[in-house]
Structure 1
Amino acid sequence: MEVHHHTHHPKSWKEYVQEFLMLFFAVFLGFMAEYYLEYRAERHKEHDYLVSMKEDLKADLVEMDSKEFRMGEIINAANKLNEVIFKPTWNEADIDSIYLNSIIMVTRVYNIDFSSGTIDQLRNAGGFRLIQNEKIVRKISEYEKGKVTMNVQLDQLLERGANVHRIQNAVLQTTVFSTKESIGKFGFDRVLLDRIKKQTGSAFLTSNKNAFHEYANTTGTMKGYISYYILMSNNQKQKAKELISLLEEELAH
């Protein structure tokens, strides 16, 4: 029996090139597919970050408007205190005004609580690299610097607020301040003050006008710091609005 051997012809260089090109393109296409999927995933993340940042900025605008209203109440109260305290004599309405406006000075929350969820994620997860629009990145940086500057001013403002507290405790019957809304519109117990006045002969802890003048000056100083804080808030709102406009433009693409 004869055994027939199959003859294998050697491959030509064209066949080797063809196989190499097929393998190369298979690897290349796989790489490109993986790159595209990663690119799409990053663009989705970028979109989510931009949407989240936009919502944070809108919340900041509401927060700043709300706190500016409260700060406006403090400024009005400081003006009233200065107007009344420097009068030569006080009647019963003046005494009520001193107490009512003093309560406003210490019961209005004015520190602006900025949203930080998105910016924290961007920092911790290295998300800034995902934002391709350099103008947006720059505006975010400017907005964050504004928040830092405002916090420095807030620290100074809180110190002045503490001084107002300190002097109030030295000149006013602070026991008539109340958190019960049913007692009075501003938490001022007029009945208790009348009882104290009858027992002690005075509606205040001191009759020294210089102590009250110091009080008026301290509230005036606080008013100045509040006014500058409002100015900074207005600048920050403008930055927020500009950044929201940029974000909306980018998200529309």
Structure 2
Amino acid sequence: MEQNQNTNEQSQPQALSTDVKSNPDKTIPEAPTTTPDVTEGTPATPQPETQNAKPETDSMEVHKHPHHVTHPKKWTEYLLEFFMLFLAVFLGFVAENVREQIAEEARAKHYAKSLYRDMIEDSIKLTDAINISRDIALKSDTLRNLCRGKEIKDVPGGALYYYSRYTFRHWGFQSTNATLEQLKNSGSLRFFENYELEDAIGAYDKSARWVVSTIQIDFDNVNLGTPYRFQLFDANILDSILSYSASRNFINAFITHQQTLVTYDKQKWTEFLNYTATRSEGLKGLIAVGYLPALENARKVIALLKKQYQLDKE
């Protein structure tokens, strides 16, 4: 029986082969891919299941941005970009100018305060120089009036000592020009942005320089009178009246007292009196042409600085 079964199983492929030869157009059925049934009693071997997991997120759509590199721009977009770039550059330029303007205004205010103080100090110096120079010239004129038409021995010696002492005095002037020189050398006068003020500063600088140079002439004149100091007057007596601390009562008593002179020689006294006249006229010219114009220019600068920078409110 088993032999017949085996004979039948072996004959099946041959019949199939014969069938294919007789009918070549007939499709050969595919062998089943499923796993054959497991015989009873044999445990099934578990097979891993392969699952194609479907993604939970939907596929993302790609959208082109309006400003994508592949997006063709309209002329209005180019115009807008140009305008924004121009505006950024312009605002930066304006901001820089504003910052620079604020810095220059601060520097101008600093220079104005410093120059204002210098002008105040110079105006005080000039006022003192004017008053003292006038006093020297006045005392020199008084001395000549006392001696006019008289013999020297007929004039109280104390008066000759007192009025002659002014002839040997000299009052200088030195401008406080540190700020002004700094403004000139650095070109910072432009910070004031006021042509009237700049002109006033220039005028003062010129007049102050003239005064300083001319004062040297007066100092030389004082040196020319030094020999008369020793030829005509007793140094001890002259020194006692030269002191600024001498009281008014002492001076009044001294003037009326007959003090002794070194010499009463008319020629020497005439030369000395001529010298005092020259000195007096020189001082009057220095006051009129030098001190007063310089003081006027200094006061003008002070007024302009005070007005422009409200310095009187600080």
Determine which of 151, 156, 166 is the counterpart of 1:88: 151
In structure 2, distance between residues paired with 1:110 and 1:63: 10
Q: State whether structure 2 residue 279 is matched by structure 1 residue 222.
A: yes
In structure 1, distance between residues paired with 2:297 and 2:90: 45
For structure 1, which runs of at least 5 residues remain unmatched after alignment? Answer: none
Q: State whether structure 2 residue 297 is matched by structure 1 residue 239.
A: yes
In structure 1, distance between residues paired with 2:83 and 2:285: 70
Q: State whether structure 2 residue 220 is matched by structure 1 residue 162.
A: no
Q: State whether structure 2 residue 106 is matched by structure 1 residue 49.
A: no
Q: CA deviation at 1:175?
A: 4.1
In structure 1, distance between residues paired with 2:158 and 2:97: 72
Cα deviations across residues 13-33 of structure 1 (Å, max 9, x unaligned)?
443443343233223212211
What's the TM-score, normalizing by structure 2? 0.65
Cα deviations across residues 189-214 of structure 1 (Å, max 9, x unaligned)?
x8xxx9xx9xxxx631x332111111
- Whether the aligned pair in 2 keeps the contact of 1:74 and 1:105 (CA below 8 Å) is yes
SS in 1 for 2:145: helix
For structure 2, which runs of at least 5 residues remain unmatched after alignment? Answer: 1-58
Q: State whether structure 2 residue 123 is matched by structure 1 residue 65.
A: no
Match of 1:213 in 2: 270
Q: State whether structure 2 residue 199 is matched by structure 1 residue 138.
A: yes
- Whether the aligned pair in 2 keeps the contact of 1:54 and 1:244 (CA below 8 Å) is yes
- Whether the aligned pair in 1 keeps the contact of 2:167 and 2:279 (CA below 8 Å) is no
SS in 2 for 1:178: helix
SS in 2 for 1:56: helix
Q: State whether structure 2 residue 183 is matched by structure 1 residue 125.
A: no
What is the letter of the counterpart of residue 88 of structure 1?
A: E
Match of 1:26 in 2: 88
Q: State whether structure 2 residue 161 is matched by structure 1 residue 99.
A: yes
- Whether the aligned pair in 2 keeps the contact of 1:168 and 1:215 (CA below 8 Å) is no
Change (3 A) 1:219 1:182: closer
Q: CA deviation at 1:11?
A: 4.7
Q: CA deviation at 1:227?
A: 0.7
The alignment covers a number of residue pairs equal to: 239
C-alpha RMSD of matched pairs (Å): 3.2
Match of 2:27 in 1: none
Q: Rg: which structure is higher?
A: 2
In structure 1, distance between residues paired with 2:194 and 2:142: 50
What's the TM-score, normalizing by structure 1? 0.79
In structure 1, distance between residues paired with 2:238 and 2:107: 51
Change (3 A) 1:26 1:246: same
In structure 1, distance between residues paired with 2:264 and 2:125: 41
